[in-house]
Amino acid sequence: MQGMFVVGGESLIDLVPVAAGADAERVALAGGSPFNCAIALAKLGNDAGFLCPISQDAHGELLLAPLAEAGVSILLGERVAAPTTRAIVTFNEKMQASYIFERGADRAFSREGLLAALPEAVQLYQIGGFCPILAEDAAIWTDVVAAAAGRGAVISIDINVREKLIEDEKGYRSRLSGFLDSAHIIKLSEEDHAWLEPGRSIEDHAADLLRRRHCRLVVVTLGEAGSLAFSRRAKGQAPIYAPPVFGDTVGAGDSLMAGILTWLAEHDALRPAELGELGSEQLHAMLRFGAVVAGINCGRKGCNPPTRAEVDIVLGQ
């Protein structure tokens, strides 16, 4: 089945320091993991749609501009009165980002509005990391996922644990588990793994995920150590692609995810049966493609994923 790649979940404004120190001036940058992934998918040549309310405020305008520039379909066209969700960003010595959140417009949706905005033809539906955080939101997003699956979509999720937003850990874990049960493709970082399954090996955790009803592919990012992938048949790995000049890691995981989904679609593997049968060489090639997408992004400040032409230049070297 062909159709749109739809990413559902949060968009927000990252308030990013321009220098080190708690009192540094901050610049407002468009962000949010699903927002970033939708843009990366479109820039790689996919028909991508973004399912998230956009505020009427000035920060909403800041979000709309890169979506439009990349060619992402904005599926909820009517702007909302709630203020744009904000993330106050700080960086550690490795320029890895951490966040404090003030939520607003990303939650200004209704079940009816989201379901009406979901396209009839959906090739892939990606679940955003904020979706399990609050029970009332998760109930609505669960229905959206079910509707996409009912239209034949492959379901993916980027877990993206945001510990500072989780006030009810037991409830969050239960709701996340429900989304994981729906997903064919599960991506997580080593930080997500350490929070979810402290003391366990990544291999054991991946094996558990692959035993869930629908899961056929697990991807784990390891920061500077690259990435791992597990299908029901094999394991693969790939190093990072280090750009000539380093910017920061904002949006790296989102770019990698978009690269993986693009590679799978282009190799006719974005179907449950094919996902589960991927061999180690295919998994390596998939991760390598994703690593180049992520690495080019890391050569810039903020999330600015590459075009397909930029990726092909690096892969051809």
Arithmetic mean of pLDDT, 44-52: 98
Q: How far apart are CA 68 and CA 30, in angstroms?
A: 13
Residue 307, pLDDT > 90, answer: yes
Mean pLDDT (the chain) is 95
The reply to whether 57 falls in a domain is: no
Q: What is the pLDDT of residue 21?
A: 59
Res 97 pLDDT > 90: no
256 located within any domain: yes
In a domain, 19, yes or no: no
pLDDT of 46 strictly over 90: yes
* CATH number, domain containing residue 289: 3.40.1190.20
Name the E strands within 103-184.
122-127, 154-158
With respect to residue 239, please indicate whether it lies within any of the assigned structural domains.
yes
> What pLDDT was estimated at residue 20?
62
Q: What is the pLDDT of residues 170-221, one digit of tens each?
A: 999 999 999 999 999 999 999 999 999 999 999 999 999 999 999 999 999 9
Structurally, the chain folds into a number of domains equal to: 1
Where in the sequence is the domain holding 282, given as residue range(s)?
A: 4-9+33-52+69-81+109-311
In this predicted structure, what is the pLDDT of residue 95? 67
**pLDDT at residue 22, rounded to an integer:** 60
The model's pLDDT over 61-92, given as tens digits with 9 standing for 90+, comes to: 999 999 999 999 999 999 999 999 998 877 77
242 three-state secondary structure: coil
Angle between the 252-266 and 280-298 helix axes, to the nearest 10 degrees? 140
Burial class (CB in 10 A: 0-12, 13-18, 19+), 171: middle
In a domain, residue 94? The reply is: no
Quick check: is 96 in a domain?
no
**pLDDT value at position 49?**
98
Structure confidence at residue 130 (pLDDT): 97
| Beta strand 97-102 pairing with 86-91 | antiparallel
Tell me if 103 is assigned to some domain: no
In-domain check, residue 63: no
pLDDT over threshold 70, residue 257? yes
| The pLDDT value given to residue 124 | 98
Give the C-alpha distances (Å, rounded to integers) separating 136 from 33, 86, 110, 180: 21, 20, 10, 18
Regarding beta strands 73-74 and 86-91, do their DSSP bridges make them parallel or antiparallel, or are they unpaired? unpaired
